[in-house]
Amino acid sequence: MDFSQQIAQYIVTGLTIGAIYAIVAMGFNIIHNATGIVNFAQCEFISLGGMFMYSLVVLFKVNLIISFFISTAGVALIGALIEIGPIRHARSKEIIVLIFLTIGLSEVLRGTAQEVWGTDNVGVPAFSGENPIHLLGGGTIVPQHIWIFAITVLVMLLLHYFFKKTLMGKAMRATAVNRRAAALAGISVNRMTLFSFAFSGALGAVAGIIIAPISTTSYDTGIMLGLKGFAAAILGGYGNFAGAILGGVILGLLESLGAGLVSSQYKDAIAFSVLLLVLFLKPTGIMGYGEAERV
């Protein structure tokens, strides 16, 4: 394997992993924009997506596509319940209190998941086999990588369409910009917040589902992915749509190229040094510009 092929491999790997980070980052952004909080339960959405998929596909032998949608909808529902219950009825609406509340919720969800599924890592079958595919420019992937990439792009396009073209999407953006003005335009702020939690749940689930055949899944797989997605969101500019994609891809590439070209032992250190450097130079992240265009 010559050097250019190695580089190609690092880039392909970085892009697929980056795609996952980007979806997770989007989940963080949507809730942040709607409510101003950082939702730590996002990590659990990822784990639950993977575990629902495992239960349906492996334990109950449900069709893959149906399982995909049921799992996604299931986690979206859990996201919605979190909003309807604890978040909406929190005594204090202080951002910091709500953030701590999501940390607590995340513990509860993880603990419950552990009781239900145990602590073992379990596999989920790949969507369409595991035969390697050799790319033209060098580098090899498995079909699941294509699925990850395609589903991520599709999800991003759908989100773009939703937020830019539909009235509901515009209403969510409007709520993010100015809750009071949104209320005066007849937009139910509560309902938009509810949607944002359901959306984030669905996004987390999708991330957990598409990565599960590669990484296996367990009650706590979401923690690492969640943290990486959070870092990607910050890198791109917290709350920014394009920033999430950019941040995810950059983080994925940094990790992969860092491990491949510099040192595998310090790959996370390399990625996070770059993150710190970016934040030092531009505290709002690459695409962030204060309170301007969000979602």
Residue choice 84, 86, 114, 270 for contact with other proteins (CB under 8 A):
114
Burial 261-288 (b: 16+ CB within 10 A, else e): eeeeeebeebbbebbeebeeeeebbbbb
Q: Which stretch binds other proteins (CB under 8 A): 34-42, 90-98, 167-175, 243-251?
A: 167-175
- Pick the closest to residue 14 from 270, 265, 253 (CA basis): 253
Question: What type of residue sits at position 23?
Answer: I
By CB under 8 A, is residue 73 in contact with other proteins? no
Residue closer to other proteins (CB basis): 144 or 200: 144
Q: Indicate the angle between helix axes 189-215 and 64-82, nearest 10 degrees.
A: 140
> 237 near 285, Cβ under 8 Å?
yes
Q: Which is nearer to other proteins, 154 or 224 (CB)?
A: 224
SS3 sequence, 116-164?
Answer: HHCCCCECCCCECECCCEECCCCCEECHHHHHHHHHHHHHHHHHHHHHH
Tell whether residue 184 is a contact of other proteins (CB under 8 A). Answer: yes
The single residue among 67, 71, 152, 218 that binds other proteins, judged by CB under 8 A, is: 218
Interface of this chain with other proteins, residues 258 to 287, rule: CB under 8 A: 259-260, 264-265, 267-268
Q: Is 89 in the site for other proteins (CB under 8 A)?
A: no
Q: What is the contact surface with other proteins in residues (CB under 8 A)?
A: 1, 3, 6, 9-10, 13, 16-17, 20, 108, 111, 114-115, 118-123, 125, 130, 132, 134, 140-142, 167, 170-171, 173-174, 177-178, 180-190, 211, 214-216, 218, 221, 223-225, 255-257, 259-260, 264-265, 267-268, 292-294
